[in-house]
Structure 1
Amino acid sequence: MAQRLLIIFLITFLLFISFQFIGQPLKRYVDAGELTKPVTSQILNMTDCSALDHPNMLSVNQIQGAGIQSPYVDKKVSTVGIVTLVSKPYKGFFIQSMKPDNDDLTSEGLFVSSGNDSRLYELKHGDKVFLQGKVAEYFGRTQLTDVEGVTVCGNGSALRMSNFSLPLKSALTKVSNVTEYELAMEPFEGMLISSSQLLTVSGVEKLTGYGELLVSYGRLMQSTDIVSSGSAAKHYEKANKLNQIVLDNGDPRLGYADVIINKASEIAQGLNVLKAGDTVSGINGVIHFNHNQFKIIPTEPVHWHVKPLSRVVPLNTNSHTVPNTSKSKPMLRIVSANIHNYFNGNGSLKAQYNGFPTKRGAKSLQQFHVQHQKLVAQLSMLDADIYGLIEIENDGEEEQSAQRYLVEALTAYSSTNKKPSGKGAKNYQFVSVKSINQSGLLGSDLIRVALIYDANKVETVGTATTLPSLDNQSKPINSAFSRGNRAPLIQSFKHLKSGKEFTLAVNHFKSKGGCPKSKSDPNRNLKDGQGCWNALRVKAADELAKHLQHPTYDGHGVLILGDLNAYQQEQPIMTLRQYGYQNAVDIKSSQLAAYSYIFRSRTGTLDYILLNKTAANWVNSSFYWHVNADVAKEYGYDKLTTENRLPASTHLRASDHDPVVLDLTIQ
């Protein structure tokens, strides 16, 4: 009898429980070890997350707070939000408030660290979740850690994306040890944003290595390329910093492989490769703070606008096909090119130069072959009559020297690729410096400058000279070229068709790095935008210009070529202008933007062809050929890997500097 009564009681109890929950939705309770299994033994009777009340319940914007740090650091809290992005590479997910608080100083988004619980990655975009965890500031990023439980309680409605545009507005308040950029970005941390702007790729330094690009509204320029050093440069750079954001592919382990156009024929020619200067639009994503940078991780595909790079120099800038050129006005093309430490690995003068890795250039024979192919292709496509080269191995002039090896390759290339008429083969020679030093070395550095010319077009006049000059006792004077600045190469030429004489001075001024430690050294970084060693570069410019005033060069067109390691508005360039020299691209160029180098995502000009008044009258056109600086460094010879997706034979990224081209009509 007792057993029968017990059975009837149990059946009645189970029927009662079942009727209470017929038609109610099944909710998933997730603790640290139970994400994927619904807890069927504990069915929750609720229709939204509000049923899960908690004494420490806070909204996402309350957790974030209006300052740089959360006011709840190290406290356990509970919150509710909509999942906007799940990221395995960044080991967590993002949530956002369902209703904004209309406070421009607080973020509606928050990053939740998954710790070691990989099952949290089963969460999906749009999941409405209740969770508990501890508030932390992880290297400047507000986040929830030590997550104790996550309840998925439905699917949220569509969230309103916050409008994001550049440049950012400066924050009204200042906080010590916090930049204006950080203050301006803090209200967006962790949030879902949308940008309707057409943004420009300004930096590709981390493109193939980390899948990151720096984008801005318009291209970011070096401050002293646009304005004078000092307060104007500081103000300009301040504006730059408010006009940038990293676009991240969401996986720091992978490059932006998907944004390289997958057309085999175009890749083989080095065309349609994502690069600085290209643009992007339609960005929707989440703002993340990682490695001291704010980044947008797109939540849907963006729209790339990739400009193709031509394999050939445009016809209207080719000195041999310029329209309406009279035969009585012979043309001459001069190129200045930094060739990025061209070392051929078997220099003949010093044993330590032999073999690979080289002191400055290629680390292996394979790298050198790539470098050589790229460089010969690029220089040959320019089809110049004179090349002023910077950063070539300083190993003399003998059979195994780098400059002889390059000259022979350029001549051979021109012979095998001559025009159908049979014309076009070059007779390239290099300017000897044995009149300066019988060893054939120029200066004491591992690298030097060089001049290569087509003997069919010009001939040398006299012998080469350099600086520093000598005093009466044939000893070097105290000169800007005694240290730091490489020895210049100065040579006069005669144009064979016109009979006109002109002089070229190829230079490589001291770089901005390796700052002196003394606080009283005039070459220290004065924080005025010009970097270190500015005083030494100014002295070099002054000495060079004074030397070129010597009666030897009277009546000559004088051209100063090279990598001067100074931007257009810096004092070394201004010094040369005071002596009457003009930048060739300022005289006659169809380019909207002239530049040759990108450093830390700032574009500017370090490479020049400057002309005195006589030579300026001969200018037909001048331009920078943007085939190197805009392209990611991983495509250069020195970053060659098995993952390199740009064929080694392409002419792109033969160097880190763009060549500058000048076409003269000698008359």
Structure 2
Amino acid sequence: MTAVTTMATTVLLTPVASAVPSTETVPGAVPAPVKIHDIQGTTRLSPFDGQAVGDVTGIVTAIRGFGSARGFWLQDPETDQDPRTSEALFVFTGSTTPGVAVGDAVTASGTVKEFYPDSPSTSNFQSLTELTGAQWTVKSSGNPLPETKIIDEGSLPEKLAAQVGGNIEGLRLEPDVYSLDFWEAHESELAGVRDVPIVGPSTQYDELYVTTKPRQRPTSRGGTGYLGYEQPNTGVLKVESLIPFGERPFPVANTGDTLTGTTSGPVEYDSFGGHTVFATELGQVRENGLTREVTRPQRSGELAVATYNVENLSATDEQAKFDDLARGVAGHLASPDVVTLEEIQDNNGADGNGDGLVAADETLRRFVDAIVAAGGPRYEFRQIDPQDLADGGEPGGNIRVGFLFNPERVSFVDRPGGDATTPVDVRADKGKAALTVSPGRVDPANPAWEDSRKPLAGEFVFKGRTVFVVANHFASKGGDQPTHGRFQPPVRSSEEQRLAQAESLRGFADAVLAADPKANLILAGDLNDYPFSSSVRKLTEGGALTALIDTLPENERYSYVFEGNSQVLDHILASKAPRGVDYDVVHLNAEFAEQASDHDPQVVRFRPGSGNAALDVINDLLDWLERILGRPLG
């Protein structure tokens, strides 16, 4: 028999964590003999938190022998028959690999600690009950492991958590009522899934997401749709691996694939993604053949306006990223006439933090060249350089929005005077609307846009008809409480700024439509919010603008996949004037392990209204003939 003692510093149980001290002991304290289910208790917090305990017995079910959050999971095969109390516990050993083997029967002592990935007093996340500063004795080896609990479609309740308007940690667990309670009641125990759909692709952090509820809001391409704050997808579960990479590389998987066979291991709460199976047994990926979508080309009488978040594109990026994005524009988006771009960085990107360089001409020129090489048109671009470090995003990147447009199909109305601080206004010109500067930033001095990208308005002309396009990138969701955290319902504090931004943008839209109620107006970009959010509802209030995502079937409403949930962050909104509107979210990134961007682009094709009813009828007839003939006229 051997004994191993470890006293260490607790760290977050992911590779990107920071350390938090966790070695509280009471000098001279006599450890109390307790069972694991006594330590876990019937709430989220151990009744022994901060106390020394002894004679803790169980079987070693898994070992984390890498990184700085090493340790092992201990599970007691003798249960107390109380469904609220977990029978397992993580024994934390810091950066020291524990000297135990799976199947060892262990008697341990140490200090119970509720671990948070950040400050316990301010954390939004749930805690993990650990045994720290542990000493243990191996009593025997080669013991059978406790039975793995297989999670299937009927295991998890539909309700996520009690909605108490605050911290739920002190509430008695109700695992048959709430899914977060169910997982807490099985914290650190062996759990698994069999033959489950993959609803979130594998990531650079070697993780993927599955669902135990394949009929819970399925998307048209095999994901799980997020359709409302009151409609959480309780079947979603993250999978990581404890199997050494040399023995089994983590699988590459896309949304819609299947994780076949059994995947099992201890289950824990992870602040990055919620409850996670740390697999000691990992199933195989069966590909479902998901393909990247290609939209149809616009007809000669249609104007195509697309929006694409190109994920921190900088002139310092490798050519491969430019090429991948360019193929998306030229091929998958069928070379739209106008593209609003989000996350264009300055020419040296994050490498030049605070150096005063804000120009992005090299970034945009490389992108245009790559599109030409991919078979697309030679676009021209318009944008306005922001003030240094004023628009948020990756530090030093000076992120901004901008336009690409095909001069062979559409012209840009250049009106000088627009810069980082000069607001664009709207004036009436013979019953039509016109911008005072083009391109021009919308309301840039408004506090709503502090440390955030300012909208960019541009005036375009297509076949003699004026079209106003506004490129947008609203403030991020940073700072919001997670849906799976200890505060329920979660506070979405970032919504306040986006609602103010929506009010500012709506004010501009109203000014355009006041000058010309029949104006062709398109608002496009990454609004960082859902169709059911207060900010998007503000933009569509009264019906002057339509959020085109609402025109799609519910199972097709997504442009982004986060923590296994297919959701909408990107939008195109249109005024009433555009006719023959044909809208498409082109799924070519978010569902795939290999991505040019983490967002899917989208495109709207339409015939701009002229304000002349007779002329519009003639143009509609010509468009109808083109459809019948299958080719452009003239």
Per the shorter chain, which TM-score range? 0.5 to 0.7
- Check conservation: 2:209, 2:563, Cα contact below 8 A: no
> What SS class does the counterpart of residue 368 from structure 2 fall into?
helix
C-alpha change, 1:220 and 1:514, in structure 2 (3 Å) is same
> What SS class does the counterpart of residue 283 from structure 1 fall into?
strand
Q: Of 126, 130, 137, which aligns to 2:113?
A: 137
Q: Of 312, 319, 324, which aligns to 2:297?
A: 319
Residue correspondences, number: 502
C-alpha change, 1:319 and 1:155, in structure 2 (3 Å) is same
How far is 1:491 from its partner? 1.5
Q: How far, CA to CA, are the matches of 1:30 and 1:97 in structure 2? A: 20
- Check conservation: 1:510, 1:536, Cα contact below 8 A: no
Q: Of 581, 587, 590, which aligns to 1:626?
A: 587
How far is 1:568 from its partner? 1.4
* Matches for 1:216-255 after TM superposition, within 5 Å: 216=211, 217=213, 218=216, 226-227=227-228, 233=229, 235-236=230-231, 239=232, 244-250=236-242
Q: How far, CA to CA, are the matches of 1:581 and 1:410 in structure 2? A: 31
Report what 1:146 is aligned to.
134
C-alpha change, 1:160 and 1:662, in structure 2 (3 Å) is same
> What SS class does the counterpart of residue 495 from structure 2 fall into?
coil
Q: How far, CA to CA, are the matches of 1:486 and 1:590 in structure 2? A: 31
How far is 1:188 from its partner? 0.8
Report the structure, 1 or 2, having the larger strand content: 2
Q: How far, CA to CA, are the matches of 1:195 and 1:243 in structure 2? A: 11
AA at the equivalent of 2:61: T
Q: How far, CA to CA, are the matches of 2:385 and 2:110 in structure 1? A: 66
* Matches for 1:227-626 after TM superposition, within 5 Å: 227=228, 233=229, 235-236=230-231, 239=232, 244-250=236-242, 257-260=249-252, 274-275=253-254, 280=259, 282-288=262-268, 294-311=275-292, 313-314=293-294, 317-319=295-297, 330-344=301-315, 365=316, 367-381=317-331, 382-386=333-337, 387-392=339-344, 401-414=362-375, 426-430=377-381, 446-460=398-412, 467-469=423-425, 480-483=443-446, 484=449, 486-495=454-463, 501-512=465-476, 527=491, 531-549=495-513, 551=515, 555-577=518-540, 578-587=542-551, 589=552, 592-598=555-561, 603-615=566-578, 617-619=579-581, 621-626=582-587
Q: How far, CA to CA, are the matches of 1:627 and 1:137 in structure 2? A: 44
1:82 maps to 2:82: no
- Check conservation: 1:168, 1:184, Cα contact below 8 A: no
1:208 maps to 2:204: yes
Q: Which moved more, 1:289-298 or 1:375-384?
A: 289-298
Report what 1:643 is aligned to.
none
Q: How far, CA to CA, are the matches of 1:399 and 1:656 in structure 2? A: 21
How far is 1:585 from its partner? 4.1
How far is 1:296 from its partner? 1.6
1:662 maps to 2:604: yes
Q: How far, CA to CA, are the matches of 2:284 and 2:311 in structure 1? A: 34
Offset from partner CA, 1:232-272 (integer Å, 9 cap, x none): x4x55xx46x6554422127999994212xxxxxxxxxxxx
> What SS class does the counterpart of residue 103 from structure 1 fall into?
coil
How far is 1:546 from its partner? 1.8
How far is 1:599 from its partner? 5.5
AA at the equivalent of 1:304: V
Offset from partner CA, 1:133-158 (integer Å, 9 cap, x none): 335225242437533422116633x6
> What SS class does the counterpart of residue 568 from structure 1 fall into?
coil
Q: How far, CA to CA, are the matches of 1:374 and 1:575 in structure 2? A: 35
Report what 1:48 is aligned to.
none
How far is 1:503 from its partner? 0.4
How far is 1:379 from its partner? 1.4
Q: How far, CA to CA, are the matches of 2:147 and 2:198 in structure 1? A: 25
Offset from partner CA, 1:211-230 (integer Å, 9 cap, x none): 33455545799x99744xxx
C-alpha change, 1:603 and 1:540, in structure 2 (3 Å) is farther
Q: How far, CA to CA, are the matches of 1:397 and 1:102 in structure 2? A: 64
Identity %: 20
Q: How far, CA to CA, are the matches of 2:345 and 2:207 in structure 1? A: 34
Q: How far, CA to CA, are the matches of 2:399 and 2:141 in structure 1? A: 67
- Check conservation: 1:64, 1:142, Cα contact below 8 A: no
TM-score w.r.t. the length of structure 1 is 0.62
Q: How far, CA to CA, are the matches of 2:444 and 2:49 in structure 1? A: 60
How far is 1:104 from its partner? 0.5
| Ranges in structure 1 where 5+ consecutive residues have no aligned partner | 1-28, 34-54, 228-232, 261-273, 321-326, 345-364, 415-424, 434-439, 516-525, 633-645, 647-651
How far is 1:659 from its partner? 1.0
Report the structure, 1 or 2, having the larger helix content: 1
Report what 2:614 is aligned to.
none
C-alpha change, 1:254 and 1:531, in structure 2 (3 Å) is farther
Q: Which moved more, 1:246-255 or 1:330-339?
A: 246-255
Q: How far, CA to CA, are the matches of 1:333 and 1:586 in structure 2? A: 19
Q: How far, CA to CA, are the matches of 2:371 and 2:276 in structure 1? A: 45
C-alpha change, 1:108 and 1:177, in structure 2 (3 Å) is closer
> What SS class does the counterpart of residue 99 from structure 2 fall into?
helix
AA at the equivalent of 1:390: E
Report what 2:184 is aligned to.
186
- Check conservation: 1:507, 1:560, Cα contact below 8 A: yes
